[in-house]
Amino acid sequence: MKIEVQEFYPTQNAKKGQRYIGTLHIYLVETEEDLRGIKVYKSGNRFFFQMPGQQVKDEDGELVFYPYHSFMPDKQREFLQEMVKVGVEFMRKYYKDKKKRG
């Protein structure tokens, strides 16, 4: 699965040490889909990504996360592996460029 990161949208007034740092807009090449709102979290030098969705309580009162977009299980694994590879690379470059700008 080929993924291209289109843009990173940093959170407004992000505080130093804050884990949630913004969202990504990506493009899925094979299916010609734009996905926006992929949450980006940073902890130390590591980045984590979460599909946009909503947390709701199920009939037992447990919180359940429902993504707005999902894939079949085999494609989900492929998407996650590629998203981590491409997303981390993009975010590292973003921070490297940000340091150069000052």
Q: Quick one: DSSP state of residue 31?
A: T
pLDDT in tens, 17-49: 678 899 999 999 999 999 999 999 998 889 999
Tell me: pLDDT of 8 over 90.
yes
Give which of 74, 77, 97 is closest to 85, Cα–Cα.
77
pTM of the model: 0.83
The CA distance from 86 to 83, in Å, is: 5
Write out pLDDT tens, residues 60-100.
999 999 999 989 998 999 999 999 999 999 999 998 988 88
Q: Is 3 exposed, middle or buried (0-12, 13-18, 19+ CB in 10 A)?
A: buried
Question: How do the domains of the chain map onto residue ranges?
Answer: 3-101
Does position 1 have pLDDT exceeding 70, yes or no?
A: yes
